[in-house]
Amino acid sequence: MSKSVTILGLESSCDDTAAAILHRDGMGQTTILSSVVKGQANLHADFGGVVPEIAARAHAEILDLCVEEALAEAETSIAQIDAIAVTSGPGLIGGVVSGVMCAKGLSAATGAPLYGINHLAGHALTPRLTDGVPYPYLLLLVSGGHCQFLLVRSADQFQRLGGTIDDAPGEAFDKVARLLRLPQPGGPAVEKAAKLGNHMRFNLPRPLLDRAGCDMSFSGLKTAVLRTRDRIIEEHGGLPIQLRADLCAGFQAAVVDVLAEKTRRAFSDYLQAEPSAPTLCVAGGVAANQAIRNALETVSSEFGAEFTAPPLALCTDNAAMIAYAALEQMPLRPADDFSLSARPRWPLDKSSPAMLGSGKKGAKA
């Protein structure tokens, strides 16, 4: 029997400011006591996307308020916090710095040990928080900035089986929404419009399906949507609502087809690890898309594997996943000291070549 731990988590890597408190008892059972997420959609609405400087300022202004709210919701005082976890990368550097500095201040004031957590590890370990999925499991991490197939072997061992070589699906959804004058965030807006459309109306490409392996590309698909939109406008003198819905449906169907087929290929690699309980997990903000979930669940059944997707509130950025990742990693490594730095880039699989290039700040993914 191990010692119980109450941990505070902080997340500020993009445009959601979040704080959460988790408790792990002596038997290893973990409970989310509170989870507070403050979005910034209204601050960025006029710009068609997230403005890093605005996001960073907003994080700095409300992080302490999120912590106070999380403590109140959990009926816990800061003196009862045993450890502090914070996203220290990857992400928009201004936001990550805001979170890291807040966490350092709280650690210095309370004496609670500090754990810097990879944001992607938070997403990757969420299926264990929500469903207790045993290692190893196959994870499709699909979000606004990332898209990777990962073989999750432990809390600190992640093998990348493939990923996007350009735009992530969430980024593509946002860009298509802007092209079609739909509101941001683009994912929910495109999905809503697609429900009213005919996905067979336009013949859009399925990039890289003719190439072996699990790598993906969505930039060309976005360009195909742009060209189709321009053709519609030229032919109709504008963009009729029904044709816009058809274009959304066609785009979403193309993304779903690519993800489904690449998942089949990832399964072939994953099953070579001979997992005792084969499981496909999907995590990240785009995992909230129901069409994508349904397709992945179908693929799982084809391989006789379980399928799990977190509740919608834990698909998007949140601090509960950051706190949980720290709980999982505590037995495997020491706490960080105050030299902990914010990292704009931080790949989970450090042994694989960078997919999106690298520079002085390190590999992007």
Q: Across all residues in the chain, what is the average pLDDT? A: 91
- 158 - beta bridge partners? 152
C-beta atoms surrounding 259 within 10 Å:
24
Write out the E strands in the chain: 5-11, 16-24, 30-39, 83-89, 114-118, 137-142, 147-154, 157-163, 279-283, 306-308, 358-359, 362-363
pLDDT tens digits along 280-315: 999 887 888 999 999 999 999 999 999 999 888 898
Peptide bond into 311 cis (omega under 30): no
Judged by average pLDDT, the poorest of 34-38, 120-124, 323-327, 346-350 is 346-350
Q: Which pTM does this prediction carry?
A: 0.89
Taking residues 37-65, what's their average pLDDT? 85
Taking residues 71-84, what's their average pLDDT? 97
Secondary structure of residue 332 in the 3-state scheme: helix
Cα-based distances in Å from 82 to 8, 58, 265, 290: 8, 27, 43, 38
Give the pLDDT score at 362: 46
Give the pLDDT score at 355: 58
Cα angle for residues 17, 317, 99 (degrees, 5° grid)? 40
Judged by average pLDDT, the poorest of 93-102, 169-178, 193-202, 250-259 is 169-178
- How far from the centroid of its chain's Cα atoms is residue 148's Cα? 10
Taking residues 129-135, what's their average pLDDT? 94
Judged by average pLDDT, the poorest of 92-96, 227-231, 329-333, 355-359 is 355-359
Confidence of residue 359 (pLDDT cuts 50, 70, 90): very low
- The pair of three-digit structure tokens given for residue 282, joined into one six-digit string: 């999907």
**Whole-number Å distance between alpha carbons of 248 and 226:** 11
Q: 3-state SS of 193-233?
A: HHCCCCCCCCCCCCCCCCCCCCCECCHHHHHHHHHHHHHHH
**Whole-number Å distance between alpha carbons of 315 and 309:** 8
**Whole-number Å distance between alpha carbons of 22 and 6:** 6
> CB of 115 within 8 A of CB of 100?
no
Give the pLDDT score at 53: 84
pLDDT tens digits along 52-76: 888 889 899 999 999 999 999 999 9
- The pair of three-digit structure tokens given for residue 236, joined into one six-digit string: 């109709």
- 57 - beta bridge partners? none
